[in-house]
Structure 1
């Protein structure tokens, strides 16, 4: 016992110095790492700019400017101070903002420019690590091919009648007994339900309504500071993502059973398309990967479409001449369908030339998406500045409204001779699925009503 007691005293004597030594070693390593990082950055010519507060950076002002519809002012102030290429910190990551046509050419050159499609931390957490935005190479090509096969023009043209029926049902349901409606919420709910019906064959009911609420939460959290603490927007989004995963997992299980029993064709919906997909080794996609890409598809199709529809209603309510011309064209389509008992078809949609040109003009003047994030896969260089590996790169749309190259860019062309636009608009695209997340008008029209 005396032997043990003496050893305990000896260990106690050494405990404090040992703990001090461990802490000193950790601090020393951290200091060395920070000095190494600082040295590596000093050797690079980084763009001018401010990284803002630690971790938070300038995220709060960036998000606030979007909510208040002042994102253009936010960007213009920094361009004035620092130039067309500047650094900041957004969504928990150091970011280089690239503006101008040359910047967009650099981002989408298709060459090995060191730019990957990876998204910011909160977005990646919501869409999942297996999302098409987070993978590259053969895996990206495989998943993208499956998506495009389901979403190609020939496939979507067959669903025009179904989409028309879903929209009519939703409109009558929302307008019944009401003098006015909130257009933003209506368009969000309508586009979400159409997407779920086409992609998943999800029936109407409480499950679809709950899924809409969870996706709304998830979208909010995707553009929030990634603080995963109880009560934060990001934590609520992560929990909502968990509930979404449960619903989609059940749908996958049901669809898999249907395929095994021969009840559904392989192209019946996008879930079936993913289930029959095989990689180069003949292996099916894991369930987690299917879920991540289903979430990505819904998010990609939801915000931009609902914003465009809201802007269209807003403009028609304000511009009597354009509204009358759109109405006249729609009445012509209705007259051409007299005696036809079938559902609305693609040939009917192709008659809506003027309506589509109005939508195009709105997208030119007020893009449903303001820009997007990418990430550097290696050290790269643009505009005379170094962009270190692992940094985010933010590019923006609406270049034509920021330059004198395009005269009168804010003036609508709708009332002018549309021959120029006609040359550019011979065919109406069958869908608007833009994989862009940052919205210029995503949350700043809550009071817009259509009476």
Structure 2
């Protein structure tokens, strides 16, 4: 009986594989599709790609296919056919084209977790409406008002976490908590500690689901992600209701926080946007504003522990700023917008880290019509993916690309071509929170290097990539207050 079932399963699998290949050939047989393999039906090459990601070997996974098929190749991931385009021309094509060529839609299994109404999935007038609202909080003119508050939040987080000498903390967990707290406080006006902790636990589950195998079955990371997303929605709706009541009564203003701003929006028909649009963009902004910055900050702590020369240069720049402030006796020692602008070398270190270990591995777009690139046909509805790391490590763009050299981001250095350096994307849909991330990262590093010293518990700790790159053990460090000279 068991042998019969196994034989039946094998025959069924072979039949599905044959049918899958037949349909692909029937639908696209006359087209010049890129070389490559679509893998197994439904699964595609998802398993091998996720396995490579977990081992931080996604670059090798791509390089193997580039060597075999060329810089434009096809595969299938997350149940969707995907064309990878590797190189500067591909970046320009993908990121520089208009909405009549590409939609920002990502594979459905990703969009389902984050919500189909978030800004990454929108286009046209609805995209511009939501983007304009968010930019009112994230543009430099607005961010200048947040620096001192950010200083307070970072200082408070550090004082709660670091007690006396030789405190051991897990950097990744700490940075995730810190950046989540900053986002909740400044962007969303959420201050209750119990609410934030509950949100944070579920966002961690949701984020893990984004890097998991996208099949729903009881107990899977992907299914847990949907359960976490449902709890986030349920927990957020009372907050949304309270903010709407505040707007109606005049006790709050659309300028108070991003949620209030979105609730006050009217579309082209003078209708308010739906609650689900607000919820989906809250979810997306939390993920974008705290996970990417937490990754960058973890990488900076790691680099400063590893490289004494880089650490010394960063420390000198930050101590000079601190001494200037103490001499001027300004603002009770709190950072200002002017101080942030002086942190040029520290930000160059951050830029170089994002070049060599980009937090966002690449960018998905969806073809809205039949396209042609590099002599190959790309059918309407297929996903197209550009790889950040490819141009970041291109020797014709960055000399000695494997060398860590922050000076390459100095204004006097060789200009970097458009679409070559893309940690925050590029073009119409580039990241709108990059300046917020810069201020948060520089504020945190300033407080860390001027007040504390640290060393890695495991100097040879490896990296993994669960959507974003992280040290496998969470980067535990021993940290203690800096002894004044």
With the shorter chain as reference, the TM-score category is 0.7 to 0.9
Pairing partner for 1:85 from 48, 72, 93: 72
Q: Which residue of 1 aligns with 2:424?
A: none
1:292 matched to 2:280 = yes
Q: 1:401 to 1:415 in 2, by over 3 A?
A: closer
CA deviations 1:333-371 (Å, max 9, x no partner) are 222222224432111212222212221222222222210
Partner Cα separation in structure 2 for residue 379 and residue 442 of structure 1: 34
Q: Which residue of 2 aligns with 1:271?
A: 259
Q: Which residue of 1 aligns with 2:14?
A: none
Question: In the TM superposition, what is the alpha-carbon distance from 1:36 to its structure 2 partner?
Answer: 6.2
Question: In the TM superposition, what is the alpha-carbon distance from 1:422 to its structure 2 partner?
Answer: 11
Gaps spanning 5+ residues in structure 1: where?
Answer: 1-30
Q: Which residue of 1 aligns with 2:469?
A: 442
Q: Say if 1:98 and 1:394, in contact at 8 Å, map to a contact too.
A: yes
Q: Secondary structure at the match of 1:199?
A: helix
Aligned pair count? 413
Q: Which residue of 1 aligns with 2:442?
A: none
1:142 matched to 2:133 = no
Pairing partner for 1:386 from 377, 390, 394: 377
Partner Cα separation in structure 2 for residue 271 and residue 64 of structure 1: 37
Q: Which residue of 1 aligns with 2:141?
A: 154
Question: In the TM superposition, what is the alpha-carbon distance from 1:443 to its structure 2 partner?
Answer: 4.0
Q: Say if 2:99 and 2:123, in contact at 8 Å, map to a contact too.
A: no
Q: Secondary structure at the match of 1:249?
A: helix
Q: Which residue of 2 aligns with 1:116?
A: 103
Q: Which residue of 2 aligns with 1:60?
A: 47
Q: Say if 1:56 and 1:225, in contact at 8 Å, map to a contact too.
A: no
Question: In the TM superposition, what is the alpha-carbon distance from 1:40 to its structure 2 partner?
Answer: 2.3
Q: Secondary structure at the match of 1:430?
A: helix
Question: In the TM superposition, what is the alpha-carbon distance from 1:160 to its structure 2 partner?
Answer: 0.7
Q: Which residue of 2 aligns with 1:395?
A: 386
Partner Cα separation in structure 1 for residue 66 and residue 21 of structure 2: 29
Partner Cα separation in structure 1 for residue 87 and residue 61 of structure 2: 16
Question: In the TM superposition, what is the alpha-carbon distance from 1:113 to its structure 2 partner?
Answer: 6.1
CA deviations 1:235-271 (Å, max 9, x no partner) are 1000100111112211111111111222222211001
**Which deviates more, 344-353 or 410-419?**
410-419
Q: 1:83 to 1:212 in 2, by over 3 A?
A: same
Question: In the TM superposition, what is the alpha-carbon distance from 1:176 to its structure 2 partner?
Answer: 2.5
Q: Which residue of 2 aligns with 1:127?
A: 114
Pairing partner for 1:413 from 398, 405, 408: 405
Partner Cα separation in structure 2 for residue 423 and residue 327 of structure 1: 27
CA deviations 1:18-69 (Å, max 9, x no partner) are xxxxxxxxxxxxx999966532210111111111222111112212212211
Partner Cα separation in structure 2 for residue 113 and residue 138 of structure 1: 13
Pairing partner for 1:369 from 360, 366, 378: 360
Q: Secondary structure at the match of 2:117?
A: coil
Gaps spanning 5+ residues in structure 2: where?
Answer: 1-17, 417-433, 439-464, 479-485
Partner Cα separation in structure 2 for residue 130 and residue 179 of structure 1: 43
Describe how 1:231-380 pairs up with structure 2 within 5 A. 231-338=219-326, 339-342=329-332, 343-380=334-371
CA deviations 1:164-195 (Å, max 9, x no partner) are 11111112222226622111111111111111
Q: 1:208 to 1:143 in 2, by over 3 A?
A: same
Partner Cα separation in structure 1 for residue 142 and residue 213 of structure 2: 39
Larger Rg computed on CA atoms = 1
Q: 1:441 to 1:200 in 2, by over 3 A?
A: closer
**Which deviates more, 31-40 or 340-349?**
31-40
Q: Secondary structure at the match of 1:431?
A: helix
Question: In the TM superposition, what is the alpha-carbon distance from 1:222 to its structure 2 partner?
Answer: 2.1
Q: Say if 2:173 and 2:474, in contact at 8 Å, map to a contact too.
A: no
TM-score (norm 1): 0.85
Question: In the TM superposition, what is the alpha-carbon distance from 1:418 to its structure 2 partner?
Answer: 5.0
CA deviations 1:90-119 (Å, max 9, x no partner) are 111111111111111110223466221001
1:431 matched to 2:431 = no
Partner Cα separation in structure 2 for residue 134 and residue 112 of structure 1: 12
Partner Cα separation in structure 2 for residue 430 and residue 111 of structure 1: 24
Q: Secondary structure at the match of 2:268?
A: coil
Q: 1:396 to 1:346 in 2, by over 3 A?
A: same
Partner Cα separation in structure 2 for residue 394 and residue 416 of structure 1: 27
Q: Say if 1:117 and 1:134, in contact at 8 Å, map to a contact too.
A: yes
